[in-house]
Amino acid sequence: MNAPSSHVVVVTGLSGAGKSTALAALEDLGFHAIENAPPPVILEAIEACEQAGVRDIALGLGGSVGSFIDGAPGVIQRISNGSRKVTVIFLDASDEVVLRRFNETRRPHPEAQRASATERNTGAPAIHKSGILESVALERERLGPLRALATLVIDTSRLRVHDLRKRVFALLKPEHDGLFKLSVRVVSFGFKYGLPNDADLVLDVRFLDNPHFIPELRPLTGEDPRVRDYVLRASGAREFLKKTGDLLEFLVPRYEEEGKSYLTIGIGCTGGQHRSIAIANAIAEELGRTIALRNATTEVTVVHRDGRMADVRRTDSMPEGPESIGDPRSAPSQPIKVRAEGA
């Protein structure tokens, strides 16, 4: 039985026009993707998704198998019956652009592959065994009935990957805001253990006064209120936080608009024990307040990658200085909460 809230977005169009990019954008919005399924099983697959509680479904129809395309218009008519909302996005591009994209990837065009397969299987010369441009023309002809059913035709000739993602988001994001989230990780770390591999932005806070040289603060971490107060009172700390907050207030909404799924901000000091932890916590708290004021769905996580390395040094009876002892292990992080990640 069809559910009133079920929304099926069909993505189809020319090979090389960006179907994979559009489907990936839909998955980022929370859609469950079904790609290149045979027409006889598509309705059954959609109904199985609906029975499992999946209400947002992306259906990719490509030209890799000719009979699939030939049967696709009938499938769209069938899934449109009843209470489902069906949106058909047809991706197009100029012949010159498609030719360039296939030349860049060096992949054979599906129509050429189909002609070669026919020749191998039957032993007869392929009728349409030709170059890419001839294959594109043949595919356009086969896709004509699907194009006629399109809710929206997008010409991707002048669109970059990010531009196409923006077009898809602009079409569907308003009604799926609850599903899309930018996940922001603020990671404190020690430079002597190496940069976080996944960092998009890295900020160096080694210019701040170092609590390591205060005997009573040395064995503590930036999570301790005494260390935090010492770091935040250091010359330049408040100004650094304000300017960093202004930068993130500018960047984060634009990353959300672009459709970026993850943003990792690295905050580094020498050992990752004092300054980076205190500053990472302060940045995450301020970022969380800013996001709350915008009523955004962005999720903020704080991870202290090297914060427990001091404990490891003491356990190994090593000096409590800045000596390097190796890479820390990782531990899971939690949204909105500050926690340590380490051995």
| pTM summary value | 0.60
Most confident of the following: 94-108, 112-126, 219-233 = 219-233
Q: Please report, for the domain that includes residue 77, its CATH number.
A: 3.40.50.300
**Chain centre distance of CA 168:** 14
Residue 58 has pLDDT above 80, yes or no: yes
* 1 is a domain residue: no
Task: State how many domains the chain has.
Answer: 2
Residue 157 has pLDDT above 50, yes or no: yes
Give pLDDT, residue 174: 61
* 2 is a domain residue: no
Residue 190's CB is within 10 A of a number of other CB atoms, namely 22
Residue 91 sits in the same domain as residue 114: yes
Residue 92 sits in the same domain as residue 205: no
Give pLDDT, residue 270: 96
pLDDT digits (tens, 9 = 90+) for 107-119: 777 766 555 544 5
Domain boundary among 144, 176, 208: 176
Give pLDDT, residue 290: 87
Most confident of the following: 106-115, 281-290, 307-316 = 281-290
Confidence of residue 328 (pLDDT cuts 50, 70, 90): very low
- The answer to whether the beta carbons of residues 320 and 285 sit under 8 Å apart is no
Residue 229 sits in the same domain as residue 169: no
Q: Which residue has the higher pLDDT, 230 or 179?
A: 230
| 3-state SS assignment for residue 123 | coil
Give pLDDT, residue 81: 77
Residue 134 has pLDDT above 80, yes or no: yes
Exposed e or buried b per residue across 160-177, where buried means at least 16 C-beta atoms within 10 angstroms of its C-beta: eeeebbbbbbebbbeebe
Residue 103 sits in the same domain as residue 37: yes
Domain boundary among 141, 176, 211: 176
Residue 93 sits in the same domain as residue 61: yes
| Residue range of the domain that includes 288 | 183-340
Q: What percent of the chain has pLDDT over 70?
A: 76
Residue 83 sits in the same domain as residue 128: yes
CA distance 186 to 263: 8
φ/ψ (deg, to 5) at 49: -60, -45
φ/ψ (deg, to 5) at 191: -60, -30
CA distance 67 to 37: 11
Average pLDDT over residues 16-35: 91
Tell me what the pLDDT averaged over the chain comes to. 81
Domain boundary among 176, 204, 239: 176
Give pLDDT, residue 204: 98
Place of tokens 């209400």: 55
- The answer to whether the beta carbons of residues 9 and 90 sit under 8 Å apart is no
Confidence of residue 268 (pLDDT cuts 50, 70, 90): very high
- The answer to whether the beta carbons of residues 207 and 236 sit under 8 Å apart is yes
CA distance 259 to 254: 9
pLDDT digits (tens, 9 = 90+) for 192-227: 999 999 899 999 999 999 999 999 999 999 999 999
Nearest to 43 by CA among 74, 11, 12, 5: 74
| 3-state SS assignment for residue 86 | strand
Cβ neighbours of residue 228 under 8 Å, at least 6 residues apart?
222, 278, 281, 282
Average pLDDT over residues 135-152: 89
Average pLDDT over residues 286-291: 89
Cβ neighbours of residue 141 under 8 Å, at least 6 residues apart?
none
Average pLDDT over residues 156-170: 88
Average pLDDT over residues 60-78: 77
Most confident of the following: 61-75, 129-143, 247-261, 270-284 = 270-284
Residue 303 sits in the same domain as residue 194: yes
The token pair that represents 72 in the structure block:
């696709």
